[in-house]
Amino acid sequence: MTVASDHLPLRSVELDILLSVVDRARHGYAILQEAEARNGGRAGFEIPTLYRALRRMRDRALIATADAPGNEAPDERREYWAITGLGREVLEAELRRLDVMLSTGRVRLAARGGSQP
């Protein structure tokens, strides 16, 4: 049986994908647009990397193909992706892991007086 921790840490592209599909199914280009919006206009990965990650995550049962959301007309040229139950567990575990890292970093920076070397 696979548990969420078996999938950690996530690659940044995988985290971006899960964040993009956690609330609704999206196609690849919409995932890229979401990542760009979150990352100041730059996704941090290119289209081939995105589609390799989508296939890898599908194979690991973190995402699955889905119907187009109700507000979008179906388009047979687009494949929509949605988060699975395991994918949600992995996303939650990764966010907890990142929270610990951020908290540790902030505490250590503060202990050294901010940005001093």
State pTM to two decimals: 0.89
**Domains of the chain, earliest start first:** 9-111 (1.10.10.10)
Q: Give the CA-trace dihedral at 50, 54, 55, 56, to 10 degrees.
A: 100
Q: What is the pLDDT of residues 78-111, one digit of tens each?
A: 999 999 999 999 999 999 999 999 999 999 999 9
User: 73 pLDDT band (50/70/90 cuts)?
Assistant: confident
Mean pLDDT of 46-65: 97
Position 72 scores a pLDDT of 79
User: 71 pLDDT band (50/70/90 cuts)?
Assistant: confident
Q: Give the separation between CA 20 and CA 42, rounded to whole angstroms.
A: 15
Position 76 scores a pLDDT of 81
Position 114 scores a pLDDT of 61
Is the per-residue pLDDT at 21 higher than 70?
yes
Is the per-residue pLDDT at 116 higher than 60?
no
> Measuring CA to CA, which residue among 48, 62, 46 is closest to residue 14?
62
If residue 63 lies in a helix (H) or strand (E), which one and from where to where? Answer: strand 63-66
